[in-house]
A and B are shown apart, each in its own frame.
Chain A
């Protein structure tokens, strides 16, 4: 009985607090929902108002047909997925090695992973640009995939390392006694057990690539290769910004990631905590 009263006493204030926090956190999206239905002459009106007068659904058609939004969207998606794939291929063996093998330079490797969180794209971009010119990687989605992989590599390796390290050695030993090779244990035992961590690492990577702004700003010229973050800037003219279109584009850009998040939400959360705890 005591337990129940405990819960009940806090329930109402907690719900109210949650609602208040939600209101604050979602405020820009309320503004987005209001703005994206406004007609182009309803944007620069003083004082502004919340409920659009016309509900211009045409904005959605326009952003899709006139502004190549689909192309930007696909580019963002390709870069996101490409980065996620390349990143996973590279980090799994590295993280496994650091977690399971004793070798010279192991703690150096661990510290380096941490240290590399400090290097922002702003700092490496000039040299990266020169390398890209030599390797003919400018204006290529591949170039963006590579750059984002480099930036996400350290955190995701760290995360996976935490996961692998948390798996009891006995499980692996048992498998090896049964005749499994080292590679076999990795693919057949370790990876499946560490799946939540891997999912988290993949999501993290995807989000980073999806958010990326500075790399495409510097490396991409061709409109056909622009991701959403850059493409959305075409609504910012020299003399005014078409906010209604920008908000429509922002909304469309948000939906797929949101759906993805909702689907894997549970695993994502567990993964983040798991990796961190053991890390």
Chain B
């Protein structure tokens, strides 16, 4: 009987050790893992070529560029951080950086990246510059613009109010939709931010010392913005009928299909239209402010950060130097359709089109996300408030009042 016991224990041990042994191999070369967010337009071919080219130049480094859909990047990053095994590099929404800083999870990139690379990047795009150090290289930085389907309308609206009128006209005249309005929560709060900023509103008041104060989304500007959204959607009904079931990504194809007059969108619109085989003319213009407010389009930067818990930071720096050469980075910008962040690429001919002119104009007055800890949770709360207003469960004022209170409570837990 003792024998049987021993045999069973041995089997168990054997099974586990073989599994682990299978895990132990490789690891001879330093390995750089990159969480590579999947921008639309970014081809698999490009990813593969970049990976191969780098490994050819640095044969003793193993590079693994991991393609991850945008909606999963944050979750995957938190799992790997909580598990104590972050990647060397990850593309991140720059607004996550404070969270990561609070966790001591990121390294200053200027420590690992060459001066040539750093100097070549526009200072204006270095949003991750906090406390005197740069915590991530800007990988894609773009202000949002308004794209107009010329088949449906030629009107370039000067104000939000004008856009609403024209959107309604388009709907009544053509039976198509006036304006794209994503109504389903997704990881970013872009859609509310467009209107909030255009109404002259903001997420937080700014204290004298530059820190964030109370949440002010429920002030007059905020309520005006949300009321506008709800009215366009539910009173005019000039937005897609299924807008409540569409995240940003799911709503834009309606525009690509030629079925909507206006969409507030980013630089990728050009490549996306091409990919969809769209045959109509498009004008690019600025997101209009509400009457009496100043234009303030949202600008979003994504960064690429080095993680302090990773093993091969030096090699990660080498990869960044390699990736930021024109040969690769300009191609990347072109594929995803973002204006270049590097000085050398900005002068290239492919970045001089009307789209890029509109983007540059927008960038001059654009406004970024607040850089505040816990913003993932806060934007979730605000998104829910927007949904409740759409659904008529709360008035815009009520919804924003409640959300502001919750946001303040979340903010308090970080202080």
CA distance A223 to B66 in the complex (A): 6
Stretch at the interface among B69-77, B158-166, B283-291, B348-356: B69-77
Chain A residues with CB under 8 Å of B296's CB are: none
Q: Are the C-beta atoms of A145 and B66 separated by less than 8 Å? A: no
Q: Are the C-beta atoms of B67 and A223 separated by less than 8 Å? A: yes
B267-290: CB near A (< 8 Å → 1, else 0) gives 010001001110000000000000
B interface SS class: helix
Q: Are the C-beta atoms of A234 and B23 separated by less than 8 Å? A: no
**CB interface residues, A 114-128, toward B, < 8 Å:** 125-126
Contact of A86 among B15, B40, B272 (CB under 8 A): B15
Q: Are the C-beta atoms of B39 and A238 separated by less than 8 Å? A: yes
Q: Are the C-beta atoms of B38 and A234 separated by less than 8 Å? A: yes
**CB interface residues, B 287-309, toward A, < 8 Å:** none
Q: How many CB-defined contacts (below 8 Å) exist between A and B? A: 121
Q: A137-B23, A222-B66 are in contact. Are A238 and B8 (CB under 8 A)?
A: no
Contact of B69 among A93, A221, A222, A233 (CB under 8 A): A233
B253 within 8 A of A: yes
CA distance A145 to B19 in the complex (A): 9
B81: nearest chain-A partner, CB-CB: A129
Q: Are the C-beta atoms of B85 and A138 separated by less than 8 Å? A: yes
Chain A residues with CB under 8 Å of B8's CB are: 93
CA distance A140 to B21 in the complex (A): 11
Q: Are the C-beta atoms of B272 and A136 separated by less than 8 Å? A: no
Q: Are the C-beta atoms of A237 and B76 separated by less than 8 Å? A: no
> What distance in Å separates the Cβ of B279 from its nearest Cβ neighbour in chain A?
10
Contact of A143 among B23, B87, B249 (CB under 8 A): B23
**CB interface residues, B 10-26, toward A, < 8 Å:** 11-12, 15, 19-20, 22-24
Q: Are the C-beta atoms of B83 and A237 separated by less than 8 Å? A: no
Most B Cβ at <10 Å: residue of A44, A146, A183: A44
CA distance A168 to B63 in the complex (A): 59
Q: Are the C-beta atoms of A221 and B33 separated by less than 8 Å? A: yes
B254 within 8 A of A: yes
A66 within 8 A of B: yes
B47: nearest chain-A partner, CB-CB: A223
Q: Are the C-beta atoms of B19 and A240 separated by less than 8 Å? A: no
Chain B residues with CB under 8 Å of A183's CB are: 4
Interface size on A, residues (CB 8 A): 43
Contact of A239 among B35, B84, B272 (CB under 8 A): B272
Q: Are the C-beta atoms of B44 and A234 separated by less than 8 Å? A: yes
Chain B residues with CB under 8 Å of A9's CB are: none
Q: Are the C-beta atoms of A142 and B84 separated by less than 8 Å? A: no
> What distance in Å separates the Cβ of B359 from its nearest Cβ neighbour in chain A?
16
Q: Are the C-beta atoms of A126 and B83 separated by less than 8 Å? A: yes
A62-77: CB near B (< 8 Å → 1, else 0) gives 0000111000000000
Q: Are the C-beta atoms of A133 and B257 separated by less than 8 Å? A: no
A236 within 8 A of B: yes
Chain B residues with CB under 8 Å of A140's CB are: 22-23
Contact of B253 among A130, A133, A240 (CB under 8 A): A240
Q: Are the C-beta atoms of B275 and A40 separated by less than 8 Å? A: yes
Chain A residues with CB under 8 Å of B79's CB are: 125-126, 129, 218
B383 within 8 A of A: no
Q: A44-B257, A67-B44, A237-B38 are in contact. Are A136 and B83 (CB under 8 A)?
A: no
Q: Are the C-beta atoms of A240 and B252 separated by less than 8 Å? A: yes
Interface size on B, residues (CB 8 A): 49
Chain B residues with CB under 8 Å of A138's CB are: 83, 85
Q: A125-B79, A239-B272 are in contact. Are A136 and B24 (CB under 8 A)?
A: yes
Chain B residues with CB under 8 Å of A218's CB are: 76, 79-80, 83
Chain A residues with CB under 8 Å of B24's CB are: 136
> What distance in Å separates the Cβ of A261 from its nearest Cβ neighbour in chain B?
28
B102 within 8 A of A: no
Q: Are the C-beta atoms of A240 and B40 separated by less than 8 Å? A: yes
Q: Are the C-beta atoms of A136 and B20 separated by less than 8 Å? A: yes
CA distance A129 to B86 in the complex (A): 12
Chain A residues with CB under 8 Å of B192's CB are: none
Chain A residues with CB under 8 Å of B272's CB are: 239-240
> What distance in Å separates the Cβ of B258 from its nearest Cβ neighbour in chain A?
9
Q: Are the C-beta atoms of A217 and B76 separated by less than 8 Å? A: yes
B191 within 8 A of A: no
Q: Are the C-beta atoms of B15 and A221 separated by less than 8 Å? A: no
A44: nearest chain-B partner, CB-CB: B253
Q: Are the C-beta atoms of A234 and B69 separated by less than 8 Å? A: yes
Q: Are the C-beta atoms of A46 and B254 separated by less than 8 Å? A: yes
Contact of A238 among B23, B33, B38, B256 (CB under 8 A): B38
A241 within 8 A of B: yes
Chain A residues with CB under 8 Å of B37's CB are: 238
Most A Cβ at <10 Å: residue of B8, B33, B38, B85: B85
Q: Are the C-beta atoms of B256 and A146 separated by less than 8 Å? A: no
B64 within 8 A of A: yes
B82 within 8 A of A: yes
**CB interface residues, A 217-261, toward B, < 8 Å:** 217-218, 221-223, 233-234, 236-241
Q: Are the C-beta atoms of A66 and B82 separated by less than 8 Å? A: no
Q: Are the C-beta atoms of B87 and A238 separated by less than 8 Å? A: no
> What distance in Å separates the Cβ of A126 from its nearest Cβ neighbour in chain B?
6
B176: nearest chain-A partner, CB-CB: A46
A89 within 8 A of B: yes
Knowing that A137-B23, A238-B249, A238-B268 touch, tell me 10 more A-B residue pairs with CB under 8 angstroms. A44-B254, A90-B15, A222-B66, A233-B69, A234-B38, A234-B69, A237-B39, A237-B42, A239-B252, A241-B249
Q: Can you report 21 A-B residue pairs in the complex whose CB atoms are below 8 A from each other? A: A46-B257, A66-B44, A90-B12, A126-B79, A129-B79, A130-B83, A130-B84, A135-B20, A137-B19, A137-B20, A140-B23, A143-B19, A146-B19, A234-B69, A236-B38, A238-B38, A238-B40, A238-B268, A239-B40, A240-B249, A240-B276
Return the 3 tightest CB-CB contacts between A and B, nearest first.
A129-B83, A239-B40, A41-B277
